[in-house]
Every structure is written in C-alpha cells, then in structure tokens.
Amino acid sequence: MSRRKRKKLKPLDGNWRQAVIQVLRLASPFQRFTVVGGLFLSSMFELLGLAMIIPLLASVSMEVHGGKGAITNAIRKGMEAVGLPFDPLMILLLIVLGFTLKAVVTITTMRYVTDIVAGIGNSFQVQLLRNLLRARWSFFIRQPLGRLVHATGSEAAAVGESFLSIATILASILQASLFLLVAALISWKLALLAMAIGLLMFVSFGKLVRSSRIAARQHRAQMRQLAGNFTDAMIGIKPIRAMGRTDRFGRLFEADARGIAQTLRARVISSEYVTEMQEPVIGVLLAVAFYYATQSATLHPTDVIIMAILLVRTISILSPMQRIVLRFIQSYDLYRSLDDLLNETAAAAEPSGGSLPPVFERAIEFERVSFGYGDRLVLQDLDLTIPCGVITALAGPSGVGKSTAVDLIAGLYEPVAGHIRIDGVDLREIDLQRWRHLLGYVPQEVTLFHDTVFRNVSLWEDGATEEEVITALQVAGAWSFVSELPQGLHQMLGERGHRLSGGQRQRISIARALVHKPKLLILDEATTGLDPQTEAEICQVVQRLCVEQRLTVLAISHQPAWQQIADRVYTIVDGTTVQTHPVVVPMASAS
C-alpha cells in the first residue's frame, strides 16, 4: 500500500458512490476488470446453457421450422450461420459446453478473487505493523493491546471482504441486466415489472439495513473490548489464579460474552428479516409474470418457458443482494475503523532523527536535561556522564525518573529542555536507528516468547548463527543450563518462558542483549526480585564483560550489589538534582 497520507473515510450514511470507489481502489484497475469481467463472462456462458434448453425442446417436439418462438428461431439461424446442425445432439453439446465453461470461468475467477482478498487484508496488516513500529513510544504505550489484536485480525480480514462484496454486487448487477435484456426481447413489460419490483425491494428494506448496520457497529465495539480484556487477563493470569480471582474474572467475561451474543443476535435477525421478507415479494413477481405470460396471445409457449427460466434465474441472482449489501456495510465499518487506526499510527510516526553515524568511544553526557509527562516534570536540569568502558549505576527511589533517563538515551523520548550528547554530538543529529543498534537492553520484566531458545536469543535475525547464540549464552552464564535441556538450543520455552526460573530467564535476556555485540548494555532493574546469589552471579558476568570486552554498562538499580561493583554511582533525588557518590573501583576493573 502507498505510504502517502491517507484520506479519512466517512461513515457509510448515504454516500454509497464514494464508499464503493474507495473499496474498489483497494485493487488495481486490472484486478477490478478481471474480477468483474470474469464473473460477467461466466454469466454469459450460463445464459448460453439456459437459452439452448428451449431449442432442445423445440427440436424434440418437431417445432423447428414451423414454430413461432422468437428465441428458438434466432438460435436456429445463428447455429446455421456458423455451420452447426440444429439437432438435439448438437444442442445438448452446446448446453454442456455452456455450463462447463461457466463453471471453469467461475472457479478460476473466484480463486483469483481469493488471492486479491487475502492480499488486501495482508497489506493492511503489514502497513499497520510498520506504522506501529515507527510510532512514537508515547503513542504506542497508550494503545490497548486488544484493539491492536482485533485490528490485525478481523478488521484486516474485513477489508478484503468489503472488496469481495462490491465485486459480487457489480457482477450480479451485470448478470441480472444481461438476463433482463434477453427477457425484454421476449416481453419488455415483464422485464420492466421485474426491475420495478427489484427496486422496490431495495427501497422498502432500507430501515432493516440501517438497524443491521447499528448492530454491526455495536458488535465490533464489544468484540474489541472483549479482545482487550481477555488479552490483558491472559498476560496477568498467574497472579489472578494464585489469588483465587478466576471466578470473578470468569463472570466478567461471561457478561461481556452475553452482551456480544445480544448484538450478534440483532445483527443476524436483521439480516435474516431482509432475506426472508423477500420471499413473498418474489412469489408475487412470479405469479404476476406467469399470469401475464399465459394470458398473452403474443408469446409462444417456448418463449413463455424461457421467460420463466430467465426471471427465476434473475431473481436467484438478486435475492442474495440484500444480504451481500448488509455484509458490505458491516465490513466497510470495520474497514473504516482500521483505516482510522492506520491514519493515527501514521500521524504518530517518531522523528527519524539526524543523519550522522553514531560514534561512541568517549561518553554519553546529559546537559541540564528536563523531561516530563504532561505538565509534571520527572527530570529537571539533569547532569550526568556515562563514560565508555566502565559500569555506571543510576540509583534512587521508585518514580524519580531512572527508567525515563534510559528511555531518553534510547531516543524513545526527546528532552523538553537540555541536550543529550554522544561523544559531544547531540542525539537529535544522530541516525536514531543506527544508534539503537549499538544498544543492548535488559528490562526488569523479561519477555520471552513461546519459541525456542535460539529464536528467543537471536530474535529471528536472518544472519544469526548457532555459534553466535551459543557464545552469547556462554558469556551470559546461561549455556550451562541451556545445554542440559532435552533439545538444547531448540528447546521450546513455553508461554513467556515460564519453564525457566527467574534467574534463567534473566540470563537468556542478557544473552539476547549481547548477541549482536552492543557497545552499551542497559540493565533496567534487571536483577530486582532475584535472590542475592543469582544477582551476585549476574553482577560478576557483567563486570567480566566490562573488563574483557570494554563494554559500557548502565545499571538502573537501587540494589547495593550494583553500587558495589560500579565505577560511578549517580543518585537521582526528586528528579531535580544528581549526587555523585565516589566508590572504590574494583581491582578487576582498575586493571
């Protein structure tokens, strides 16, 4: 899909032409022509098969030359003009050929349509993912997870379905028009009556269409809310189960499910009313048409039969139209919702930063940096220096802005005042993505995926090798237990890595941060909650890395263990002042 600025879609409250054009533009002109043209061509082959039934009856009943049937005579003359004998065998062959070609063209076209529908949905999913990955961090963390899950699932699928609905409607209109045109050659009055009744059906069921649209919107909102609540509950299911709160959450989900069932019932009932109420109208149409045809002295019996077949076939094409229109309205609402989200995410794209390549050989410097959320400043006039090749610890009570300082270093936020400099160059002038490639980040809440150890460490990097992953695991002190797993590197870790202990998960996370050989390793409360022995072992690993590989380490922690091994310790007090505590540099680091 194009990355140009998207126009905001309007609700489908009357401007049908605009909505149809918007949906058709989801596919290329060639794809639109192929789909609609293919479906129309299949109807022509079907018409060929249907039309040949009458000459077959006429030829069998010996009414070939003397009959008064206009359709029969026209077909006979056409066959004779191309050198085909007008006999039952040839007519049977043409009937079989017509229906066979109709089936082949229809199947081929629908397979092509399926590819288009899948491609449209996939393009929206990919575009949404790209927009989210480019979005400002402040926008990203405000998005309900359930909304994103719903958008990349049913809403993305509905975009392709809206195109399918419009293509089906256009093809049905062309098919019905073709059949009515042939019917008009026999009796224009009956054809006109059929068109008038069909138009009356669409107009009279407008209220049901609107009620179905309202029910579809309510259903979409409730599904989004349920997806969000369920996703949040599954992420935090362990404390919920441990504290015996599953019954309460079960009742909440049951209440949400009942609400969804009610809106779904209203949506389905409205759709069924539209379909079922057409049956009496169709019956009236057939009764009037049959009465007129039988009472008319101008129609030959074979023409009456073909007229009845054409009208029945036309009605069978038009009767599902209301249902397809309802399906389009519902899918278009989902399309509009997804399009709004795409516009929001595109508008929230973070600045790309500068163009200078990052060079980190001396230090990171905060110069009178201030930052806040809304009107509340978290950091104010912050000054600190993070030298290369040593361990710097940032301490202080919770909520004073330690993790915020990390977010500023990673470029997730920009200071409202002051400067962050990398070797003297303002971070705003540096290529942000290239700078982030130099960082290794280990958060307090380790997120492991339901995948193998190898993929959890490599993060699906195409060029990552087993040797590189094993080296990272060895450096992080994790290879000793990974090598003992039944499948080693290819052992599945389970949902969120819960097959491992907290310390093991943390070591996997450190290996993940080290596998691409970063210049700066950021540990954000990485050992909080671990036992003292495990914390001491991780501290030793990090200290060894700092000495052997001249790795720069920034440890965000109020734990004494980190302050004991750090070369520098900064303490943030109320986010406004920084106190530097001199510490004794460890012997290993001094050497």
pLDDT tens digits, one per residue of 95-104: 788 888 888 8
Determine the pLDDT at residue 588.
38
The rounded mean pLDDT for the chain is 76
The torsion angles phi and psi of 524, rounded to 5 degrees, stand at: -100, 95
pLDDT of 591 higher than 50: no
Query: Locate tokens 């998005």: which residue?
Result: 143
User: End-to-end alpha-carbon separation of the chain, Å?
Assistant: 57
| 269 vs 235: CA distance, rounded Å | 36
Q: 65-89 pLDDT, tens per residue?
A: 444 456 667 777 777 788 888 777 8
DSSP secondary structure, 135-185, as one string: B-HHHHTTS-HHHHHHIIIIIHHHHHHHHHHHHHHHHHHHHHHHHHHHHHH
pLDDT digits (tens, 9 = 90+) for 482-523: 888 888 888 888 776 777 887 788 888 888 888 888 899 998
Give the pLDDT of residue 584. Answer: 43
Alpha helices in 61-155 (DSSP H): 70-81, 88-134, 137-140, 145-150
The residue ranking higher by pLDDT, 257 or 565, is 565
Residue with tokens 């599953």: 246
Q: Pick the residue with more confidence: 203 or 532?
A: 532
Q: What pLDDT, in 10s, does the model give residues 204-257?
A: 555 555 666 666 666 666 665 665 555 555 555 555 555 555 565 566 656 666
> What span, in angstroms and rounded, lies between the C-alpha atoms of 555 and 305?
87
Quote the pLDDT of residue 520: 92
CB 567 within 8 A of CB 556: no
Q: Which two tokens stand for residue 553?
A: 């380490």
In the chain, ranges of CATH 3.40.50.300 domains:
363-590
Asked if 250 and 288 touch (Cβ cutoff 8 Å), the reply is no
Highest mean pLDDT, choosing among 52-56, 139-143, 472-476, 572-576: 472-476
SS3 at position 340 = helix
Average pLDDT of the residues in 49-76: 59
Closest among 484, 486, 474 to 515, alpha carbons compared? 474
The number of helices, as runs of H, and strands, as runs of E, in the chain is 24, 10
Q: What is the mean pLDDT of residues 467-471?
A: 89
Residue 408 pLDDT class (50, 70, 90 cuts): very high
Task: Take residue 119 and report the two structure tokens written for it.
Answer: 């491609």
- Most confident by average pLDDT, 7-11, 299-303, 494-498: 494-498
Residue with tokens 């009356």: 200
Token duo for residue 61? 């009943």
Q: What is the mean pLDDT of residues 432-455?
A: 85
CB 45 within 8 A of CB 102: yes
> Mean pLDDT, to the nearest integer, of 433-453?
84
CA separation for the pair 3, 104 (Å, rounded) = 38
The reported pLDDT for the residue numbered 299 is 60
**363-590 architecture in CATH?**
3-Layer(aba) Sandwich (3.40)
Q: What is the mean pLDDT of residues 15-23?
A: 81
This prediction's pTM: 0.69
